[in-house]
Amino acid sequence: MARVVVDVMLKPEILDPQGQAVVNALPRLGVSNVRSVRIGKRIEIDFAGDADLDRAKDIANRLLANPVIEDFALRVEADTTDAAGDAGEDAR
């Protein structure tokens, strides 16, 4: 199995009210050195065979991202399942 990850972010010139809300809440959590936060989406596309970046790009262009206000980046992610078939550890 091959996985392509699509990261979708608002374009830099587009205001991000959700990111601004996070920045405004951080001082209440004792965090004062964060200048900005941008919120985006991570989409994982699992292909049955080899990773198909051209197909993933077409999917992102046509369905996953709004090209007027969003940019996206693609990358192939290495298989992170262990021998038992469990996913790698969560970063939390």
DSSP class of 79? P
The percentage of residues in the chain with a pLDDT greater than 90, rounded to a whole number, is 83
Determine whether 71 is exposed, middle or buried from the number of CB atoms within 10 Å of its CB (0-12, 13-18, 19+): middle
**What mean pLDDT value characterizes the chain?**
90
pLDDT at 69: 97
Answer whether 0.85 is exceeded by the pTM: no
Instruction: List, in order, residues 6 or more apart from 88 with CB less than 8 Å away.
Output: 80, 81, 82
pLDDT at 91: 53
> 71 vs 87, which has greater pLDDT?
71
Q: Per-residue b/e over 46-58, b at no fewer than 16 CB within 10 Å?
A: eeeeebbeeebee
**CATH 3.90.550.10 at 2-77, yes or no:** no
